[in-house]
Structures are given as C-alpha cells and as structure tokens.
Structure 1
C-alpha cells in the first residue's frame, strides 16, 4: 500500500529576483513579498512557505497572512534577515554589543511574526557569524557569544521552536555553525529544549558531509526538526533544482528519513537565477514525487541485508531498479 504523500514547501526567496557581483542590477525586476507569495501559489502541490522577515517595503504581517490565505498557502517558518550589511561582522558574534542588540531585536520581532502567522518555527541562519582570516577572531569568544545568544533567544521565546541552519561558508569564509556535529554540541551547551536543526541537503554536500549521515546523526540526537532540499556541484552552495546532480544521494537522504519514521515538510531551498521560478519548483516537486514512489517500492529488507554485508553493488542495484524506473512516471 502506497504511503501517504509528503507535504511540499519552499523558501519564499525561491520566487524572488536575484543579484550577484556581476549582474548587480539583477536577473529580473524586484519582486515584492506579496508577489513572491502569488508566484508560490501557482506551483502545483505546494502548500507551505518559509517567509523572510522583514518583508518588502510597505507590506505588513496582516498583508502577508491575507496573501497566504488567498493563495492556499501556510507559513511553516519565518527567517529573519540577520545576514545583511549592518551585520557584516556578525549578528550573535558581532564585536559591537549595540549591533548584537539590534540582531536580538530583529529576532524577537520575527518571533512575533511566527506567532501571528501560526508558523511552525523561527529559522536562524546567522550567515555573518564566523570569520574570514586566521587570527581574526578569538575562537573561545566566538563560541561563548554564539551559544549564549541562541540560549537567550530561546529563553525569551519558550513557546516557539527555533531551528539553526548550519552551513560551512558564505558569506563568511568560515561560518560559525558549520556542521551537524558542531551544531549538536552548541545546542547541548545551551541547555534549552526549544532549539533544533534545519538540515539543508546542499549545505551538507558543500561541507563535505554525507547528507544521509548528517540526517541520521541529528535524528539520533533528537534534533532534526526541519530540512531543505536542493542540489549543487559540491564546490559551492549553488542551490540548484533538486536531483539534477546527485539523485542517488538525494534518494539515500530520504531513505534515511523514511527508515527513522521522520515526518515533516519536504521543502525546497533553491535559487533559480535564470530560470522561471514556478517551473523550477514544479520540476523539483515532480522529482520528489518520484523519490516518494521509489521509497514505496524499495525492498528495504533486501537493502538492509546488502548493507549488513557491505555489498555495495547489491545495494546499488536495488536502488537503481526503483529510483530510475519511478522517475519515468509523471503522476
């Protein structure tokens, strides 16, 4: 009997327009928060979105709530933008206590948005916390500020789940929260029960981790509370359409979630710079549906037996037989 179809989501930034250091005028005209929500509403089978905060100019939280309802969407998370220019030397780990206080204010405002929208979590991605050069920071001080800042946020918002999204680098040459293992250690040091992890598949790839192994480690510690999927060429966080480069590792990732009984939103974190954003989301969900069908058809007992023998070829054959046949079905 086929298992229940997963719920699909996307970061709202998937539907925005983008700039880089070459096309500094952008690849498309600016897209407001409300326009992003409308684009997300055009995607088949998309039901939830992660909403960046602050919203674009002139947009209120009530406007966002109304637009989500109008487009048949719900907010799963709120992502405060604590990685912009004013936090260029860090948010939690900034050497200026006034800037750290500004970061706390943004985070607590975003927590209120979580409450108003009825979202599942506040997502913390402190992209500017870290360093660029040897000797630039005192590593003990970095640890103390990062861990204490997250603890303070958690204690100030005990009714809200908070997830940390780790990443090895970018925008800093080294980010503080750079791996599954370090993030687990940091959360354990906080001594709170409302902080977990959002595992980004591409961040694990980019950081030299096995996404499946990272997921298992986080599950074993009770900390895998959310996840994002995408793909990349391993040398950078390319945020490409899921399954276009590493379909077998994507399958192993979702297999790991399945055998552990993990249930949550299958969420896209992609940046289709030059592609149609709605088409990119539809293609991604098409692939993820194939993954779901393949998981239903996979002979898990036979795979476990092959793994017990470390029979790489036997395991690969079982995986190939279901994965590539299921991807031919569009339903």
Structure 2
C-alpha cells in the first residue's frame, strides 16, 4: 500500500439512500442485469494516462497537479504503478488501459525505451496477479514526441514509420504478455495540417501498410484479443484520417481489412465529429465492427475534447441501449478516458470522479436493460418498417426501376405519409429511464 490516498476506505456498494460519498449508490458489481453481472456487462477500466500521467496542464497554462511520482526514472515509474494499483484496489476496478509513454520514462534511445517498458511490464504482471485487475487494452503513444509532429504511419519520413512500427511491436508484446483483451490504434497525428504539402493517396497506403503489419504480427504471436481503431475527427490536426466510424469502415473496406479490425468509440470524439454517441455505436454495430468504448463527455460550450467524467444518465442509457441491443461487449469494455479538472487537486477528487462515473454507468446500463425488456421501442420500430415484410414490400424491393414505374402507373399508387412518432418515443424513453 502507498500513502497517497491516505485513509480513503475501500469503496463499496451501499445503495441509493446512502449519504456516504465514498460509497457506490448504484454500481453493484454482482447485481444481475439482463442475465449478466453488472461488472461483466460494463467491464470498467481506468485510463492510466489521464489518472496518473496527466499533470493538469492546458493550452494556456502548465502543470497544476503535484504528484510524488512526477519525474524521470524507473523508481518513479514503479511508484506511479504502486499508486495506480492501490486505486484499482480501492475502487474494485476490473480493468485498466495504458500507452507505453504513460508507464515508462522516455529513454535516450529506442533500446532504452524498450528495456524500460519490459521492466514495467513485469512489474505490472506481479501487481495484476495480486490484485486481480486485468488489462482491457494497451496502445502506443505515437503523437506526443516531436518526432511524430507529421504523423506516425502516415509520416513522410520512412524512418519515423520504422520507429513507429517498432514501438507498436513493443506495445503489442507487452499487451500480449499481460493478457490484454484488445490492442488499440489511435492515430493522434495521422492527418494533415494543409493539403499544400500532403499526398492523400500515399498516406492512406502507408496507414494501410502499417495496419496490415499489425494484423500479421497479431496472428504471428497468437494474440487472441481484438485490434481496435479509435476514430477522432480533429484536434490536434486540421483533419484526421480516422474521422468517424463511417470513415474508418470505408478505409477498412478499401484495403480488405474489415474482418480483422473493430472500433473503440469515444463519446467525446463522436460529438466532435458532429454525431451523437449512440449514432456512432449503432452504425458500428450495423457494420459489424463495434468493439469497445471510451466513456467521457465534452463540455457543450467548448469546441474541443475536454475529456470529462460522464454525468448524464439519459445519454449513457442510450449508449448502452445500442451496446446491449448488439449483444453486449465481448473483448471490449468501458474505459474512463476522462480526467480531473485542472483545479481538482486532491487525491480524493481522483477517487470520487471514478465513483461518480461508475454510478452513472451503472444507472445507464440498468435503464438500457429496462428499455430492452419493456420492448415497446423495438415494437414501434418494427411497425414503422412492417410494410417491407409484406409480399408487396418484398416485390417492390426485388423489382427493377422500370418494373416499379409500371407498377405505380398501373395501380395508381397514392402513398400517404405516416407519423414517425418521435415525441411519443422520446416520452417512452424518459418514462422507462425514470423508473429504472
């Protein structure tokens, strides 16, 4: 145990009536929801980078947090891990996620980076054995260092491509060794600032070449997890190539990789792309590429990715509705890719942010399950498209353009519009959520 969290107690479920802020009001890991334990549905994970590596800076100001593990060297990296796993224990968190740069100090060479990562991987393995916390996914940081200013896989310099590939291999090896359920590729700077110096076709081919190498290596080492791409539309680049789910799927189809890769969808990224979270989830499910999620929100008065903990139960309920409707998570889960506000300095803030987020996810999951069990939403959806299931509807679908023209002329069709009943559906959703 460490002293960072002081005398904060183990966080336990006490129910909705409790006044204890260091207790769960809704997250009960053993509660059965739609046939599964709540913990097994949600598969909650802590983001190592935001919780332990982020220093509280923003574009206009530097570090505000004062953490005893900030600095270089493996001793401080081990201290950071000690604190992280202490927090996982306090919260009962089943999973965590990390980038290589979050967990090991930056060395003077790639070889030193690799040694540092391998050493901390072994340290993690021992702690995971003791705590039971598992790895939801690992990934490589290919965006923070200045060498990645023009991208990683899409960089115009082949030496940066090679360095990036070696880094991905190292992170895949670490993820595999730790029994990770997934491996994520997030192209933080895979995009362009101006078309004046960009070859779009070449950069797409480079991105596909890197992804193909990742898939080949996955099979070579026998990694059974899922390869995930995380879409994001912008920030920091003017335009990123993994803009949204539809763009990622088009890329995968173009290069014949759609059966090898799924998506890790972030709520904040969906909003930046001009979509709702549930839209991106529903689209991914319909395309067969829904893998995992990052659960965080943006400030709707800001135009950038603020990475705040979820606090809106109806929003979360609609997200989990799409996930449950598609069959629920397999290798994926719910990663809190969220960070404290830079004024929230205390260790207690870090614990309570996760407690609140876990309770919101629990309430959202239960509401989503109630909506599915209620059945009226899906019944009304089916009724809206019922005409396509009739003999006439099937005949229309199979007819040619000329045949349809003849059909309309000969029968003097006069279709009348039917209500979409949107407000009625919204009232239904709200009524079910209130009771859940």
Normalised TM-score (structure 2): 0.69
Sort the Cα spacing of 1:48 and 1:281 in 2 relative to 1 into closer, same or farther, 3 A: same
CA deviations on 1:256-284 (whole Å, 9 max, x unpaired) are: 11112122422211021333222111100
Structure 2: stretches of 5+ with no match in the other structure: 1-31, 71-76, 106-115, 385-418
> In 1, distance between residues paired with 2:63 and 2:240?
27
Q: Which residue of 1 aligns with 2:376?
A: 302
| Residue 20 (structure 1) aligned with residue 58 (structure 2) | yes
SS in 2 for 1:123: strand
SS in 2 for 1:172: coil
Shift of residue 80, structure 1, vs aligned partner: 0.8
Q: Which residue of 2 aligns with 1:130?
A: 191
Shift of residue 141, structure 1, vs aligned partner: 1.6
Q: Which residue of 1 aligns with 2:325?
A: 259
> Does the CA-based 8 Å contact 1:52-1:79 persist in structure 2?
yes
> In 1, distance between residues paired with 2:297 and 2:59?
22
**Equivalent position to 1:60, from 120, 127, 141:** 120
Q: Which residue of 1 aligns with 2:364?
A: 291
Sort the Cα spacing of 1:28 and 1:318 in 2 relative to 1 into closer, same or farther, 3 A: farther
Sort the Cα spacing of 1:14 and 1:323 in 2 relative to 1 into closer, same or farther, 3 A: farther
> In 2, distance between residues paired with 1:15 and 1:42?
15
**Equivalent position to 2:308, from 240, 246, 265:** 240
What is the root-mean-square deviation in Å for CA atoms of aligned residues? Answer: 2.1
> In 2, distance between residues paired with 1:25 and 1:257?
37
SS in 2 for 1:77: strand
> In 2, distance between residues paired with 1:318 and 1:130?
42
Q: Which residue of 1 aligns with 2:390?
A: none
Q: Which residue of 2 aligns with 1:329?
A: none
**Equivalent position to 2:242, from 177, 185, 199:** 177
Q: Which deviates the most, 231-240 or 294-303? A: 294-303
> Does the CA-based 8 Å contact 1:150-1:190 persist in structure 2?
no
> In 2, distance between residues paired with 1:116 and 1:162?
16
Q: Which deviates the most, 198-207 or 127-136? A: 127-136
> Does the CA-based 8 Å contact 2:307-2:339 persist in structure 1?
yes
CA deviations on 1:33-54 (whole Å, 9 max, x unpaired) are: 4045225414534200112214
Q: Which residue of 2 aligns with 1:103?
A: 164
How many residues are aligned here? Answer: 324
1:111-260 alignment to 2 at 5 Å?
111-158=172-219, 159-160=222-223, 161-192=226-257, 193-234=259-300, 235-244=303-312, 247-260=313-326
Shift of residue 195, structure 1, vs aligned partner: 2.0
Q: Which residue of 2 aligns with 1:321?
A: 431
> Does the CA-based 8 Å contact 1:15-1:40 persist in structure 2?
no
Q: Which residue of 1 aligns with 2:91?
A: 44
| Residue 268 (structure 1) aligned with residue 336 (structure 2) | yes
Shift of residue 25, structure 1, vs aligned partner: 2.9
CA deviations on 1:272-322 (whole Å, 9 max, x unpaired) are: 133322211110000111112212332542123444352222222222223
Normalised TM-score (structure 1): 0.90
Shift of residue 222, structure 1, vs aligned partner: 1.7
> Does the CA-based 8 Å contact 2:297-2:309 persist in structure 1?
yes
Higher-Rg member (1/2) = 2
Shift of residue 237, structure 1, vs aligned partner: 1.2
CA deviations on 1:173-213 (whole Å, 9 max, x unpaired) are: 22121111110111223334432211112111111112222
Shift of residue 115, structure 1, vs aligned partner: 1.3
Structure (1 or 2) with the greater helix fraction:
2
1:275-286 alignment to 2 at 5 Å?
275=344, 276-286=349-359
Structure 1: stretches of 5+ with no match in the other structure: 327-331
